[in-house]
A and B are shown apart, each in its own frame.
With several copies, the nearest count.
Chain A
Amino acid sequence: MTYITKPRLHHPLLQPNALGFTRRDYEGKVSTLCAGCGHDSISAAIIQAAYELDLPPHRLAKLSGIGCSSKTPDYFLGNSHGFNSVHGRMPSVLTGANAANRELIYLGVSGDGDSASIGLGQFAHSIRRSVNMTYIVENNGVYGLTKGQFSATSDPGSKSKRGVVNHDQSIDLVGLALQLGASFVARSFSGDKAQLVPLIKAAISHKGASFIDVISPCVQFNNHVGSTKSFDYVREHNAAMNRLDFIEPRAEITVDYAPGEVEVVKQHDGSILRLRKVAPDYDPTDKISAITHLQLHQMRGEVVTGLLYVEPDAADLHDHLHTVQTPLNQLDDAELIPGSLALDAINDSLR
């Protein structure tokens, strides 16, 4: 139900890339997300990354689960096929798509509810299978589309503030991805285009399972790492009218800070997020120190961002399966059907 049709006039300033495509060629439908939603910033970063990488737009395949985040593939790369599958099961669908055609570039887009709650198993197993993909979680620490329930990624530090809610330990998807053998692991913030675009580019260029956890504030329900407020917040901030069904338009939160530094981000609900960008001399090829690094900063309440780990020469699922170079969906009858002679031999062996 997109009622606004998008102006398709090319802006004279839009520069074509090496393939002759402008940034507009990488765009999708008009977003129906809330104004200021972090997810839209991620879509913009994906568009920018694909444009800068000179990718033929139709050679990407975009797959997602269900959620506000999972809707976003409709809002970028309109010339790519997209698949908004079922809640929490994008990883398996992507795995199958990748098995069928090794030549496309696979982008998996998911939310924290989609990947850390219902989809945790599939998240983990797609990573340990080394599926060649870029797996982005648009992590707002909340179920946006179903209106503000806690997801599995909210911060453990906030566990006892309200007693009954959010008492569970939080799941750190970056930590898990590292443990599960992802060969590219990064974290960023939706508003940090300067960091996010290069990370997405690197992830797409990487062969194997690339995982990027992107913190992406939900302007409606305001749950995210560091917050326990959710609906309460909406209640308080709408005190003037005290109505739950009114949603105030908000501005996107952006940041821009240097490697090695900490940026303190004040979110819509007033809570604080401390982002620590990895220093320029950080060695992302040492897994153990990546894990230690993460744990140490986490103890200090800091969320480390940047490229945390990469195994440059990773093998992928097709290497493991030793599949032919021709995509399986393009093999012809002769390559697929052994024919009647072979069948005769089989019949003979069964007598």
Chain B
Amino acid sequence: MSLAAVNDFVVKFANVNGSGSASANGMFAKSILRMGVPVAARNIFPSNIQGLPTWYEVRVSEAGYLGRRGGGVELMVAMNPQTWDQDVASIEPGGYLFYDSSKPLPPAKFRNDIEVLGLPLTAICNAAYTDPRQRQLFKNIIYVGALAHLIGIEESVLETLVREEFGSKVALIDSNLKALAMGRDAAAENLAPIGLRMRRADKVGDRIYVEGNSAAALGAVYGGATVCAWYPITPSTSLAEAFTAHCQKLRTDPKTGEARYAVIQGEDEIASIGIVVGAGWNGARAFTCTSGPGVSLMQEFVGLSYFAEIPAVIFDVQRGGPSTGMPTRTQQSDVLLAAYASHGDTKHPLLFPEDPAECFDFGALAFDLADRLQTTVFVMLDLDIGMNEWLCRPFRWDDSRKLDRGKVMTYDDLETGKVFGRYLDVDGDGIAYRTLPGVHPERGAYFTRGTSRDPYARYSEEGPVYVANMQRLLKKFETAKTLIPAPVARPAKRRTPHGAVYFGSTTPAMHEALDLLEAQGVHVDGLRVRGFPFNDEVMAFIEAHETVFVVEQNRDAQLRTLIMVEGGVDPAKLVPVLGYDGSPITARFITDEISRRMQGSSVTPTPQAAE
């Protein structure tokens, strides 16, 4: 029996990269949003430029679930012969297979328990176009037109999208609309209506649809970042590119056309973080963005920033590790390395945004924190959140907000004779005052170094001096706890001894899982951790529960490690739920893992992969 669903199903497109499908598929996803129905779309692409398989998974969810659901897909758009078998296999029983029927395929290539929707797309294109480029490109638009007809996307919605995209280019608008119509007509003529339907709703509201990298970059603009030094690496590249684009628009001096920012492509990640540290030392807000391999290379400088107390911001858009690993897949597996980056005793604040809206918030906040704490702050994105467009609440900015530049002694402070000890804890919060180079002709200059020195920045190899400084750094880390955004609780409907801690891009799948569990009568309090070091609320939550599931997208339960180590929590109560196969964790996987552990008498940590 064929599946039937309204506003709640998954469509997956199987394509070849470089074939122009991404824009067409994107238009499909956006058209659903314009119908007022939430969408979560994810690109699965290879580490390659042209000719290899790529997928685009569109989850349509009127209920507003934006994580991956898990399980098979309801509708597969199979445009890539290379991956045909696996694509056909991944359809839910009763689901639909849409394909290009121009060339006949043997029956063995199909399944009996699915509904097959063939349209001769190539033949249609070959008849309509002569230019091979057009044949390829419009094929994508034609299938969008056909799908729109099949599931009931309003014609006017697609038309509007085409007009928005091509603006004043009338010829392009016409040809695209024509292609859409061709697809629609072909479907209408050849295919019967199917069980998956779109129905206009109003569940999108004022939400925006944006990539986390672009949002984080915009956050950096609002956070006053002026120096960006970076080195290309998937999946962080688009963050630097977005920062450049945002700045060109928002940070160009309107009179002179000059730039109020500097973007420097370093020769590598070491140079990038070096530039950031140099700029931070000199009082500019500076950041780099990178991924795992870059974080590995930046270790020495992060240690310098920790010990010499220089503000810096690193956006780590995490991908599949270790090593080159899976460069175009997602993970949350740099958490431990970032938290304890560099040799010696070191600890660094981390921020974990849940979606692009928070990427924006934390993108701005990170700079205040870095200046206030005079240290490196990591913003931990991942490929899923960074490179996919997510539906999220709009960006917000309070115009009365001022940049918090932290403790910087001014010319006047120095002139009036305020005591300046670069590493002197005058306020009892572990944070000392700094001066910026060039501030005063006779006072405030000091020699910055990564070697041990006394509170007045004088070189010292004496044990007690060193220890006092190291203890002050711990105190500063205590202060950091009060500045890191508090966790967000999602209490269960009933009192329960079970809790679940999660963070970042896991959030939407987690929330869906909590609903699924609730529906099964399993009550779990959720707590979304938003940063490290953990504030007291996090520890109180763990304290308040008998068992706490720690859900994360890495093999080694890295957040769980941080909770144990920093919170002194008994590992027995922290049950790891680990999905780390490189595709975003799914609600069903989390649900299954948690209910399996709850049913079993014990809650032994047995790490397992998603799907």
> Residues on A close to B: CB < 8 A?
1-4, 32-35, 56-59, 61, 63, 66, 68, 73-74, 78-89, 91-101, 103-104, 117-118, 120-122, 124-125, 129, 143-147, 149-150, 152, 164, 220, 240-248, 317-318, 321-325, 328-329, 331, 333, 335-340, 342-344, 346-347, 350-351
Q: B90 near A: Cβ within 8 Å?
A: no
B439 touching A58, Cβ below 8 Å: yes
Which of B118-126, B444-452, B505-513, B531-539 lies at the interface?
Answer: B444-452
How far apart are the CA atoms of A323 and B253 in the complex, in Å?
9
A247 touches B271 (CB 8 A): no
A93 vs B250: C-alpha distance when bound (angstroms): 27
Q: Does the CB pair A246–B20 fall under 8 Å?
A: yes
Whether B231 is near chain A, meaning CB under 8 Å from some CB there, is: yes
Given contacts A1-B52, A121-B267, 10 further A-B contacts (CB under 8 A): A4-B82, A59-B438, A68-B49, A92-B270, A99-B264, A125-B271, A240-B131, A324-B256, A337-B221, A340-B399
CB distance from A165 to the nearest CB of B (A): 9
Cα A124 to Cα B19 in complex, Å, equals 39
Q: How far is the CA of A321 from the CA of B229 in the complex (A)?
A: 13
CB < 8 Å: which of B268, B323, B396, B442 contacts A58? B442
Given A247-B18, A340-B398: A101 in contact with B438 (beta carbons within 8 A): yes
Contacts of B133 in A (CB 8 A): 240-241, 246, 248
B402/A118 in contact, CB under 8 A? no
A1 and B460 within 8 A (CB): yes
B260 touches A335 (CB 8 A): yes
Q: Output the nearest chain B residue to A101 by Cβ-Cβ distance.
A: B282
What is the CA–CA distance of A96 and B278 in the complex, to the nearest angstrom? Answer: 4
A56 to B49, CA, bound (A): 33
Q: What are 10 A-B residue pairs whose CB atoms fall within 8 Å in the complex?
A: A33-B49, A85-B304, A96-B286, A101-B438, A118-B268, A121-B267, A125-B266, A242-B169, A247-B19, A338-B221
B435 within 8 A of A: yes
Instruction: Tell whether, in the assembled complex, residue A97 and residue B278 are in contact, meaning their CB atoms are under 8 Å apart.
Output: yes
Residue of B nearest to A125 (CB): B267
Residues of B within 8 A of A344 (CB): 394
**How long is the Cα–Cα vector from A29 to B448 in the complex, in angstroms?**
14
Q: Contacts A99-B275, A337-B403 known; A150 to B265 CB distance under 8 Å?
A: yes
B459 beta carbon closer than 8 Å to chain A = yes
Q: Is the CB of B268 within 8 A of A121?
A: yes
Q: Considering the chains assembled together, what is the distance between the CA atoms of A80 and B446 in angstroms?
A: 7
Q: Closest chain A residue to B437 by CB distance?
A: A81
Rounded to whole Å, the gap between the CB of A50 and the closest CB of chain B is 13
In the bound complex, what is the Cα–Cα distance between A143 and B241 (angstroms)? 14
CB of B279 within 8 Å of the partner chain: yes
Which chain B positions have C-beta within 8 A of A164?
259, 263
Cβ A338 vs Cβ B53 within 8 A:
no
- B216-238 toward A: CB 8 Å interface, digit per residue (1/0)? 00100110101101011110010
A336 with B166, Cβ < 8 A, contacts A3-B82, A86-B300, A101-B438 known:
no
A25 to chain B, nearest CB (A): 9
Residue of A nearest to B132 (CB): A249
Contact A122 B397 (CB under 8 A): no
State whether A351 touches B209 (Cβ < 8 A): yes
The 5 closest A-B pairs by CB, nearest first: A96-B278, A92-B274, A246-B20, A100-B284, A81-B437
Q: Are B283 and A100 in contact (CB under 8 A)?
A: yes
Is A147's CB under 8 angstroms from B237's CB? yes
Q: Which residue on chain A has the smallest CB distance to residue B237?
A: A146
Closest-by-CB residue of A relative to B30 is A351
| Residue from B210, B232, B286 whose CB has the most chain A CB atoms within 10 Å | B232
Minimum CB–CB distance from B512 to chain A (whole Å) comes to: 24
Residue contact B274 to A85, C-beta cutoff 8 Å = yes
Of residues 55 through 101 on chain B, the ones whose CB sits less than 8 Å from some CB of chain A are: 82-83
List residues of chain A with CB within 8 A of the CB of B442.
Answer: 58, 79
How long is the Cα–Cα vector from A26 to B207 in the complex, in angstroms?
57
Given A66-B324, A81-B448, A89-B274, answer yes or no on A95-B264 (Cβ-Cβ < 8 Å). Answer: yes
- Alpha-carbon separation in the docked complex, A82 to B169 (Å): 49
Chain B contacts for A92, CB-based, 8 A: 229, 266, 270-275, 277-278
The answer to whether B234 touches A146 (Cβ under 8 A) is yes
- The answer to whether B275 and A34 have CB atoms under 8 Å apart is no
The answer to whether A104 and B265 have CB atoms under 8 Å apart is no
Is B262 positioned at the interface, with any CB of A under 8 Å from its CB?
yes
Which of A1, A74, A145, A333 is the most central at the interface, judged by chain B CB atoms within 10 Å of its CB? A1
A241–B137 contact, CB under 8 A? yes
Interface-central residue, B221, B234, B441, B447, by most chain A CB under 10 Å: B447
Q: Is the CB of A100 within 8 A of B279?
A: yes
Contact with B399, one of A98, A125, A144, A339 (Cβ below 8 angstroms)? A339
CB of A81 within 8 A of CB of B224, answer no
Which residues of B (512-529) have their CB < 8 Å from a CB of A? Answer: none
A2 touches B51 (CB 8 A): no
In the complex, what distance in Å separates the CA atom of A328 from the CA atom of B263?
12
